[in-house]
Chains A and B, each alone.
Chain A
Amino acid sequence: MKKSVILGALTVASLVAGGAAAATLDDVKARGKLNCGTNTGLVGFAAPDANGDWQGFDVAVCRAVAAAVLGDQSAVEFVPTTGKTRFTALASGEIDVLARNTTWTFSRDVDLKFTFIGVNYYDGQGFMVPKSLGVSSAKELDGATVCIQTGTTTELNLADFFRVNNISYEPVPIETNAEAQQQYLAGACDAYTTDASGLAATRATFEDPTAHVILPEIISKEPLGPLVRHGDDEWADIVRWTLNALIAAEEYGVTSANIDELAANPTSNPEINRLLGTEGNLGEMLGLPADWAVKAIKAGGNYGELFEKHIGENTPIGLARGLNAQWTDGGLMYAPPFR
Chain B
Amino acid sequence: MSGTHAHTAAYVRDTMLPEQAPPATSVGVLGWMRANLFSNWFNAILTLLSVAFIYQVLAAILPWVFQSSWTANSLNECRAQIDAAYGPHAEGACWAVIRERYLQLIFGFYPSELYWRPILAFALTLAALGPVLFTALPRKMLWLSVAAPFLVPWLLWGGSAWVPVAVALGFVLGYVAFRVVASVAGALLGAIAAGLVPVLWWLLLASGWAGLMQSVLPLGIEAVDSRNFGGFMLSITIGVVAIACSLPIGVLLALGRQSNLLIIKAICTGFIELIRGVPLITLLFVASLLLNYFMPPGTDFDIILRVIIMVTLFASAYMAEVIRGGLAALPKGQYEAADALGLDYWKAQRLIIMPQALKISIPGIVSTFIGVFKDTTLVSIIGLLDPLGFSNSIRANAEWNGIVWELYGFIAFMFFVFCFSMSRYSMYLERKLQTEHR
What is the distance, in angstroms, from B397's C-beta to the closest C-beta of chain A?
5
Q: Mark B269-303, 1 if CB is under 8 A from A, else 0.
A: 00000000000000001001100110111111110
Name the residue in A49, A52, A181 with the highest tally of chain B Cβ atoms < 10 Å from its Cβ: A52
Contacts of A6 in B (CB 8 A): 301, 305, 309
Which of A5, A20, A40, A201 contacts B305 (CB under 8 A)? Answer: A5
What is the distance, in angstroms, from A68's C-beta to the closest C-beta of chain B?
22
Complex contact A12–B401 (CB within 8 A): no
Which of A2, A5, A14, A41 contacts B393 (CB under 8 A)? Answer: A41
Complex contact A93–B397 (CB within 8 A): no
Q: If A16-B299, A205-B75 touch, does A4 touch B393 (CB 8 Å cutoff)?
A: no
Complex contact A41–B392 (CB within 8 A): yes
Complex contact A41–B167 (CB within 8 A): no
Contacts of B29 in A (CB 8 A): none
Q: What CA separation (Å) do A176 and B389 show in the bound complex?
A: 12
Complex contact B305–A48 (CB within 8 A): no
Contacts of A205 in B (CB 8 A): 75, 401-402
Contacts of A82 in B (CB 8 A): 381-383
Q: What CA separation (Å) do A12 and B380 show in the bound complex?
A: 28
Residue A88 lies at the interface, judged by CB distance under 8 Å to chain B? yes
Q: What CA separation (Å) do A86 and B122 show in the bound complex?
A: 32
Contacts of B157 in A (CB 8 A): 1
Q: What CA separation (Å) do A20 and B295 show in the bound complex?
A: 11
Residue A89 lies at the interface, judged by CB distance under 8 Å to chain B? yes
Q: What CA separation (Å) do A14 and B249 show in the bound complex?
A: 28
> Which A133-183 residues have a C-beta within 8 angstroms of B?
176, 178, 181-182
Contacts of B395 in A (CB 8 A): 41, 43, 178
Residue A110 lies at the interface, judged by CB distance under 8 Å to chain B? no
Instruction: Give the segment of B49-57, B200-208, B253-261, B418-426 that binds chain A.
Output: B200-208
Q: What CA separation (Å) do A207 and B398 show in the bound complex?
A: 14
Contacts of B149 in A (CB 8 A): 1
Instruction: Give the segment of A73-81, A111-119, A238-246, A299-307 that binds chain B.
Output: A73-81
Residue A42 lies at the interface, judged by CB distance under 8 Å to chain B? yes
Contacts of A81 in B (CB 8 A): 383
Residue B79 lies at the interface, judged by CB distance under 8 Å to chain A? yes
> Which A13-46 residues have a C-beta within 8 angstroms of B?
13-14, 16-17, 19-22, 27, 39-44, 46
Contacts of B207 in A (CB 8 A): 4, 8, 11
Residue A320 lies at the interface, judged by CB distance under 8 Å to chain B? no
Residue B385 lies at the interface, judged by CB distance under 8 Å to chain A? yes
Which of A39, A44, A92 contacts B293 (CB under 8 A)? Answer: A92
Q: What CA separation (Å) do A4 and B167 show in the bound complex?
A: 7
Name the residue in B75, B100, B109, B384 with the highest tally of chain A Cβ atoms < 10 Å from its Cβ: B109
Q: What CA separation (Å) do A3 and B394 show in the bound complex?
A: 34
Residue A206 lies at the interface, judged by CB distance under 8 Å to chain B? yes
Category for how many chain A residues contact B: 35 or more
Contacts of A93 in B (CB 8 A): 297-299
Q: What CA separation (Å) do A201 and B75 show in the bound complex?
A: 13
What is the distance, in angstroms, from B238's C-beta to the closest C-beta of chain A?
12
Residue A281 lies at the interface, judged by CB distance under 8 Å to chain B? no
Name the residue in B75, B170, B227, B397 with the highest tally of chain A Cβ atoms < 10 Å from its Cβ: B397
Q: What CA separation (Å) do A92 and B292 show in the bound complex?
A: 6
Q: What CA separation (Å) do A9 and B291 show in the bound complex?
A: 13
Residue A257 lies at the interface, judged by CB distance under 8 Å to chain B? no
Q: If A52-B109, A77-B225, A89-B292 touch, does A13 touch B393 (CB 8 Å cutoff)?
A: no
Contacts of A20 in B (CB 8 A): 296-298
Residue A265 lies at the interface, judged by CB distance under 8 Å to chain B? no
Contacts of A1 in B (CB 8 A): 149-150, 153-154, 157, 163-164, 167
Residue B361 lies at the interface, judged by CB distance under 8 Å to chain A? no
What is the distance, in angstroms, from B25's C-beta to the closest C-beta of chain A?
48
Q: SS class of chain A's interface: helix, strand, loop or mixed?
A: mixed
Contacts of A317 in B (CB 8 A): 398
Residue A7 lies at the interface, judged by CB distance under 8 Å to chain B? yes
Q: What CA separation (Å) do A22 and B296 show in the bound complex?
A: 13
Contacts of A52 in B (CB 8 A): 104, 108-109, 112
Complex contact A3–B202 (CB within 8 A): yes
Contacts of A43 in B (CB 8 A): 395-398, 401
Contacts of A94 in B (CB 8 A): 292
Q: What CA separation (Å) do A25 and B254 show in the bound complex?
A: 51
Q: If A2-B308, A93-B298, A176-B392 touch, does A88 touch B398 (CB 8 Å cutoff)?
A: no
Residue A50 lies at the interface, judged by CB distance under 8 Å to chain B? yes
Contacts of B241 in A (CB 8 A): 2
Q: What CA separation (Å) do A301 and B298 show in the bound complex?
A: 32
Residue B265 lies at the interface, judged by CB distance under 8 Å to chain A? no
Complex contact B383–A46 (CB within 8 A): no
Contacts of B288 in A (CB 8 A): 85, 88
Q: A43-B397, A51-B112 are in contact. List 12 more A-B contacts (CB 8 A).
A: A40-B392, A40-B393, A43-B401, A48-B393, A80-B383, A80-B389, A85-B382, A88-B288, A93-B297, A181-B402, A315-B398, A316-B76
Interface residues of A (CB under 8 A from B): 1-14, 16-17, 19-22, 27, 39-44, 46-52, 55-56, 77, 79-82, 84-85, 88-89, 91-94, 176, 178, 181-182, 201-202, 204-207, 315-317
Interface residues of B (CB under 8 A from A): 75-76, 79, 100-101, 104, 108-109, 112, 149-150, 153-154, 157, 163-164, 166-167, 170, 202-203, 206-207, 225, 227, 241, 285, 288-289, 292-293, 295-302, 305, 308-309, 380-385, 389, 392-399, 401-402, 404
Could you list some 21 contacts between A and B, CB below 8 A? A1-B150, A4-B202, A4-B207, A6-B301, A6-B305, A11-B207, A22-B298, A42-B396, A43-B397, A48-B394, A48-B397, A51-B112, A52-B104, A52-B108, A79-B227, A79-B383, A92-B297, A93-B297, A178-B392, A205-B402, A316-B398
